Amino acid sequence: MRHPDRCVGPAAWLSVSPVVRQRWRVVARAAAAALAWVAIGVCPLDAIHLKTAAMVDLPERPKHEWRLIEGKQWQIVAADIEEAATTDAREGTRGNCPPGMVEVSGRMKADGPSGTVEDLQKQACSVWINRNYPERCGVFDADRWRSLSRDLPLRPMHFCVDRFEYPNQKGNYPVVVVTWHEAAALCKERGERLCTEDEWTFACEGEEALPFATGYLRDPSTCVLDRPWRFVHEEVLAERTTSRALRAIDDLWQGEPSGGYPRCRSPFGVYDTIGNVDEWTRSTQRSGLRSILKGGYWGPVRTWCRASTRVHDEDFYFYQIGFRCCADAPSAREEETPK
């Protein structure tokens, strides 16, 4: 029997079966990821369990009932979905937009000579949960922010945006495990389009450029955020439509039905922009990827209106990624036409 304290040399490593070698590669990858999360302060060391799908069996069956959308994406089957007309009548924010959408109009604070809006907001953070990436501010100083942002340039905005994450129905679950290309195609099927990152941001923060859609306080009782981080079985998700991938997605899932947290509402009346699921948007930058994620998801991540993730290409998908759609605002002539 090999002594446990001795390392396995190259020759001995090659003699190990391919299955065992692959298992240890996965273990090493998981250990490296765990140590990285510990290093940046997301997970305490005693919360890390160095286990992966290669070593631990996933649950035999999902806890939720899921359905496959267009043979690619996943969605939990909901029991109680509200009709768009009912939601529109109660909310009173549709304006002249299509059913289920919110008309957004106003002036957006833009980056200026004093710095980007996101960097200036960091100066207004009075209570940091974590200063390292992913940065999390618990409380922003409202007076400090108003002072810092007072002279920022303003840009007029006018557009329509889905009130909830796609499929944009109160009580329904967001469609997830979707690529940027797929999200754009699903919006196009409705005669809509993916929101630009600026449209999404303005719908979240309003004219005051609030750090959070709900104001200046990060509150897990108001929006779906800061739920425990869990290891991701990435190798299982490589084939996203398999039963094993679904069990991994279900095991990771900590989201909620759209609109389930009624106070998670932006100044314009758009729900769940921060937390719950990440959302694909279209970049407004001249260079870089077109595929930009906004809003964060249910985990312990940045999750404020201006934050974005800009490193995933248009074919990337993951267990917590969804989207919502936007549309051009109606023209003045269209607005005069009674509905």
**Cα–Cα dist 266/321, whole Å:** 20
124-137: pLDDT as tens digits: 999 999 998 889 99
Does the N-terminal peptide bond of residue 167 adopt cis geometry, omega within 30 degrees of 0? Answer: yes
Contact present, 218 and 136 (Cβ < 8 Å): yes
At 333 the pLDDT is 37
131-185: pLDDT as tens digits: 988 899 999 999 999 999 999 999 999 999 999 999 999 999 999 999 999 999 9
Contact present, 218 and 138 (Cβ < 8 Å): yes
Token readout for 26 is 């996965």
- Model pTM greater than 0.85? no
Contact present, 199 and 328 (Cβ < 8 Å): no
Per-residue pLDDT of the chain (339 residues; tens, 9 = 90+): 333 333 344 444 345 444 343 334 444 444 444 444 444 444 444 344 434 434 457 888 999 999 999 999 999 999 999 999 999 999 999 999 999 999 999 999 999 999 999 999 999 999 999 998 889 999 999 999 999 999 999 999 999 999 999 999 999 999 999 999 999 999 999 999 999 999 999 999 999 999 999 999 999 999 999 999 998 989 999 999 999 999 999 999 999 999 999 999 999 999 999 999 999 999 999 999 999 999 999 999 999 999 999 999 999 999 999 999 999 998 743 544 444
Torsion angle defined by CA atoms of residues 11, 15, 18 and 19, in that order, rounded to the nearest 10 degrees: -120
Length of the chain equals 339
SS3 262: coil
Contact present, 199 and 161 (Cβ < 8 Å): yes
**Cα–Cα dist 314/184, whole Å:** 10
**Cα–Cα dist 55/93, whole Å:** 50
**Cα–Cα dist 286/270, whole Å:** 27
At 233 the pLDDT is 84
Contact present, 304 and 217 (Cβ < 8 Å): no
Token readout for 39 is 């290093």
